[in-house]
Amino acid sequence: MISTDNEASAKACVLMYYGVTDVSVANQFRQVGNLHRSHSPGRQTRRFARSGPDKYTLIINLKTAKALGLTISREMMLIADELLE
């Protein structure tokens, strides 16, 4: 099972989590400021920049993988931000 709901689900026996982790208030205010600046008067709508999360996190639960009889590749473990054992 792969979850994109929240980081806590990865620690609750879900095999993998891939999602946004920077939901801090400071980051939200920064994104609102960027959006406000892009909507300045006189700017054409088609030139608005798209915004999205700055960082995604990959968490792999090795205990769940072992219980399912799966082998996680070394490359996948190297790119993971966190490995749960």
> Each residue of 3-30: pLDDT tens digit?
445 566 667 778 888 877 666 667 666 7
What percent of the chain has pLDDT above 90?
A: 25
Phi, psi at 73, each rounded to 5°: -65, 155
Q: What pLDDT is attached to residue 4?
A: 47
Q: What pLDDT is attached to residue 68?
A: 93
Please state, in angstroms and rounded to a whole number, the distance separating the CA atoms of residues 10 and 7.
6
Other C-beta atoms within 10 Å of 58: how many? Answer: 16
Model's pTM, two decimal places?
0.62
